[in-house]
Amino acid sequence: MNLNQALLLCGQMVSLGLFLSGVEFLRISSKPEVHRVWSPEILRLEFKRSLPAPDVFKRWLASKGSLRQLALAEMILAVAALISPSAPMYLALFVVHFFICLRFRGTFNGGSDQMFLQVLLSLSIGFGFYKSGLGKWALVYLAVQLLYSYFKAGLSKLKSPSWRSGLAVSSFLKASPYRLELKGRIERNTQLLRLGSWAVIVAEILMPLSAFNLRAAFLFCGAALLFHLVNVGLFGLNRFFWAWLSAWPAVFYITTLL
């Protein structure tokens, strides 16, 4: 995969992911309870102490209408970026998604917001400085962020006795927002918990090997897809799936450099 192909594929995946995110935010912006928990009053208080920006911007961002406007902007820009990928498009998407995060006092879904912004930042630089050689380093940066995210998660799990025994998986299942019969069955099967836990730990720790070999990259990308799909099924983390998937072409690209 060459630089151009990798940039285009990353761009298509992140555009799709952010279009879906925009649709979700549009639905969320229509819920009255959302505007009570993240009310203009609460947000004005937050922005007063933490956002060094003009008052007119802070008033707009704290308003009820801003979330709907930002959701629509994210959807339109995502479609535009899909049709015509370019640095200004991804930069605009970066700004809009960042404003949405500010609207939720920093982040909406944590890690997926962070990864979306990392992908958009890399694409803005990648497309903007394609000819100067900086584009290559933007994708290297993205691949490092992606592989490090798995490695760090794996290392943390390896250090934790509850992850090594599989008990942590049971705790995470209890925190799932879903009512699943499967949950109870998995929780009771200690062997399965330990096996699943170690499979995730080993895969995550070894994930950086993807950078050195195309076959390894395919293998680990497949494992990562499976892992993220299981997370969608058990925890509903669909945003993580799209955010992490959109960064994987950067890994395929760096296998050609090393």
Residues that bind other proteins (CB under 8 A): 20, 23-25, 27-28, 31, 33-34, 36-39, 41-42, 45-46, 49-52, 98, 101-102, 104-111, 113-115, 117-118, 145, 148-149, 152-153, 156-157, 160, 162-163, 168, 171-172, 174-180, 229, 232-233, 236-239, 241
Closest to other proteins by CB, 195 or 229: 229
Q: Please give the full DSSP string across 121-165, using - where no structure is assigned.
A: HHHHHHHHTTTTTHHHHHHHHHHHHHHHHHHHHHHHHHH-HHHHH
Count of beta carbons in the 10 Å neighbourhood of residue 90: 28
Cα separation, 219 vs 257, in Å, equals: 19
User: For 39-46, which contacts have Cβ atoms below 8 Å and span 24 or more sequence positions?
Assistant: 40/64, 43/103, 43/105, 46/105
Closest to other proteins by CB, 65 or 110: 110
Q: How far is the CB of 153 from other proteins (least distance, A)?
A: 5
Q: How far is the CB of 122 from other proteins (least distance, A)?
A: 12
Contact predicate 17/242, CB 8 Å: yes
Closest to other proteins by CB, 42 or 186: 42
Return the structure tokens found at 134.
């900086």
Q: How far is the CB of 254 from other proteins (least distance, A)?
A: 18
Closest to other proteins by CB, 45 or 226: 45
> The tokens 């490090």 sit on which residue?
148
Closest to other proteins by CB, 33 or 83: 33
Q: How far is the CB of 229 from other proteins (least distance, A)?
A: 8
Count of beta carbons in the 10 Å neighbourhood of residue 30: 12
Return the structure tokens found at 3.
């630089």
Count of beta carbons in the 10 Å neighbourhood of residue 104: 17
Q: How far is the CB of 168 from other proteins (least distance, A)?
A: 5
Cα separation, 236 vs 211, in Å, equals: 29
Q: How far is the CB of 152 from other proteins (least distance, A)?
A: 5
Closest to other proteins by CB, 5 or 162: 162
Q: How far is the CB of 131 from other proteins (least distance, A)?
A: 27
CB-neighbour burial class of residue 87 (10 A; exposed 0-12, middle 13-18, buried 19+):
middle
Contact predicate 6/139, CB 8 Å: yes
Return the structure tokens found at 34.
């959302």
Closest to other proteins by CB, 85 or 166: 166
